[in-house]
Structure 1
Amino acid sequence: MKLIAILFLCTTLLTSLAQGDQQQEFDCNDEDLLKAVDAALRKYNDGSKSGNQFVLYRITEGNKTVDHDVFYSVKYEVKEGNCSIQSGKPWKECDYKESEQAATGECTATIGKRHRDRDFSVTTQTCHVTPAKGPVVTSEYECHGCVHPIITVPHDLDPVLRHAIQHFNNHNNHSHLFAVKEVKRAQRQMVSGWNYEVTYLIEQTNCSKENFKVLTPECKALPNGDTGECTDLAYMDPRLRIASFSQKCEVLSEKDFLFSPNLNCRGCPKEIPVDHPDLKGALSHSITKLNAENNATFYFKIDIVHRATSQLVAGTKYFIEFTARETTCSKESTKELTESCETNKLGKTLRCTADVYEVLWENKIETTVKCQSPGKKQLKPCVFKGQPRDAGAEPTSES
């Protein structure tokens, strides 16, 4: 019987999207990462009724989203092994077939780990396999009953958020209406309908309950108003009605800011509206800096401005938090980002902060931008190599 000594070689393949981006890399021997990929590969092999099992070749991309639950999103490559599906052996005990006779493939998978469980569940997986002689074969798997992380806010989450903010406004004693500021994280699960868990930020608007029963387009965020965070559990039935709902919110009252030393400080940073005209130049410099310093194929465009402050010094300093989204304009075909470049709804998103220092009378502008994928930690790529040895042989130090 042959055993496999597993060797993982790490190389830095994922590069920073902006200079100064602080990445947190995982060691290739991260136990949970290996278990997650093992679960995904076993799920793929179990779906085959004949032929040979596939063996892990290398993990090329990955990220980890941590909340109440943990989700791994990975891309990994496989090669056909010499163990048949019917053998019942785990893929780790199989060696690769000869290269000329072996099929190869690449899989993209999302694997979840509930905080109460030790087991991993594969929520989605798509594999593209190229036989030794033949066309590419694609297989897809989706666990409809598993909990899925929501990376970008879809339209079907809007009814939940509208119900949530209306529920909050109807059940608090505040004088003004609140609006949803930003979704921090969300999960959903397909049952007979949908289960949602959503955490989001809220902010006070200028609409008083005395004059407004519900939120309208006239209701705008109130500078230095109250803010808060809510976590909601919602069940949407097959008719798309909210049939069950629970909410927990914490609001930071404006009275907490009454004795802030920054209130009457002319040289201190002050919150400004995200649509303030003075921000246009700072935002333009920020996205230009981001696109110049990242190595992405497509240009990014500012999608949402979450927060901004300005500070009077010898000039003006701006601090901006924003989300950038990939556009349909590639750097190869377009010289620069233009208004005609549309955002790609399925493209990558980046959560960014920008520091912009302007001295207009000296025509001086200094910009620093830092970005990262929201709620994610990047992984080092890992290369798997099967090294068979005879039964009873002692492993080498390198193994």
Structure 2
Amino acid sequence: MKLITILLLCSRLLPSLAQEEDAQEMDCNDESLFQAVDTALKKYNAGLKSGNQFVLYQVTEGTKKDGSKTFYSFKYQIKEGNCSVQSGFAWQDCDFKDAEEAATGECTATLEKRRNNKFSIATQICNITPGKGPIVTNEYHCLGCMHPISVDSPELGPVLKHAVEHFNNNTKHTHLFALGEVKSADRQVVAGMNYQIIYSIVQTNCSKEDFPSLHEDCVPLPSGDDGECKGNAFVDIHKTIAGFSDSCEFYPGDDLFELLPEDCPGCPRNIPVDSPELKEALGHSIAQLNAENNHTFYFKIDTVKKATSQVVAGTKYVIEFIARETKCSKESNAELTADCETKRLGQSLNCNANVYMRPWENKVVPTVKCKVLDMTSVIRRPPGFSPFRAPRVKKPKESTTRLLNSCEYKGRLLKAGAGPAPERQAEASTVTP
């Protein structure tokens, strides 16, 4: 069948929307608008068991809301086409059925635009008037199919709790994550329930080293890592989660040393690198490094780059520093002293230390991990460079764009049963009301 050019034409202003002086116009030729309507109509046609597909006639109302998520809400009118639902044709390849015999309808739909620029239907209701017949309401429901349910539904509670625990138990991230936002949820009635949920997760201030699981003191870090997950859960007839799987897209956050919340009980707080508070923690760090390192010479701390402290039933220090090889050998010196000078061409290490201290119990647990510092590569790279760091995108302010004109679909053939219509160029023209 000949490829049909899609042309959306704008006609009269909708009075109820035009009265809103601050409304921004959504263009009828907006490709995203058409993609949203196309997704909704294809979903409706896919649910038909027999008869003919419906073809788009016009979009009468529309609203696009931008924020943390983008939603398109619109009304569109449809007419029965001359292609059967089993034909395999797209609705764009069909012409309108004869006017007297054709069913007509109006659908109201809300769709979410996802990160991959694809659309998913949140809700859709179509009122269909058969040819010379009464109105039939067809909601987006079918027995045994996945149906959207409210993201606030109490029945999701155990599933979401299990989802977060599953993520925390099966990832190697150093910190625990908490549930951020439930973005969509679908349910299917089987011998039990199948759930499909899309939700976000956010990094908390609780490290796995110190906390086995989430508790009330674990709070999200505003600039921590986050992600978006798709979870699939099966709840059996005994209301037990018998199966679960997920897939998550992970988004690294800002450097926690650079952007930490000022007023957050239990969160890490920045410490000046020359603070006397760090003296003891640094002493334990370098002692641990030299005890574990089998190098012939002692290392000493040359530069403290960053440091935080966190109250966790004691105090936990996280310190990043550079250690340099000294001239004091372990064979000739019982310990590292202040008189030990660093070698000009000695080895340098970039170290990250975690020091957990409970002074009232004389308990100190230091862990230090170091990597040999390649001075050549450091010189070549600009300060702060990291191949894994991406700029954080601020959440957009919510804004609403409205469709101020009804949009008539003009991609069909001129007349049912007629020969192929000549190709037409996509151009805007005004339909006189």
Q: Structure 1 length normalisation: TM-score?
A: 0.46
The alignment's TM-score, normalised by the length of structure 2, stands at: 0.43
Higher strand share: 1
